[in-house]
Amino acid sequence: MGMDQVALEAALHDAEQRLQAAVRAGDAQELDRLLDDRVIYTGPDGSTMTKEEDLGAHRSRALAVEVFDQQDLHVTVVDSTGITRVLARLEGTAGGHPFKARLRYTRTWIHADGSWRVLAAHASAVPDLG
């Protein structure tokens, strides 16, 4: 594993943390930088969202995530493609209703122009163990 690989993995780890912080802050500008224009997000219920829909939900605060507590993170890099797998506990409001969820995210990232961007994301609900 060359230094390039290590540097790419470190940068992807950082990008994932920045993404989580942007979700917590409702920072649509930072999300705009971290999401590829072609990104599709698939939610736990199977519904899909485009980048504009996702950014719109954060801008309008229709989706407000107060807690994004990362419990586990795995980072994989193959050439200019990256995968992050995250287990997290979330709390916030969606469409005016409070929610609490434990979710496992799988995000596919592409590295271009010196930065990582999310091309696809999927979240699955994880039943609470306990």
43: containing domain: 3-125
Say if 66 falls within a structural domain: yes
Say if 114 falls within a structural domain: yes
Instruction: Say how many domains are in the chain.
Output: 1
Say if 50 falls within a structural domain: yes
CATH code: domain of residue 111: 3.10.450.50
Say if 45 falls within a structural domain: yes
Say if 130 falls within a structural domain: no
Q: How confident is the model at residue 129 (pLDDT cuts 50, 70, 90)?
A: low
Of 1-5, 24-28, 39-43, 120-124, the least confident: 1-5
- Residue 27 pLDDT: 96
Strand extents, DSSP E, the chain: 35-42, 48-50, 63-78, 81-94, 97-112, 115-125
Q: How far is it, in rounded angstroms, from Cα 101 to Cα 104?
A: 10
Q: How far is it, in rounded angstroms, from Cα 85 to Cα 130?
A: 22
pLDDT tens-digit map of 63-99: 999 999 999 999 999 999 999 999 999 999 999 999 9
Say if 87 falls within a structural domain: yes
Q: How confident is the model at residue 127 (pLDDT cuts 50, 70, 90)?
A: confident
pLDDT tens-digit map of 86-96: 999 999 999 99
Query: Closest Cα to residue 94, out of 18, 26, 4, 21?
Result: 26
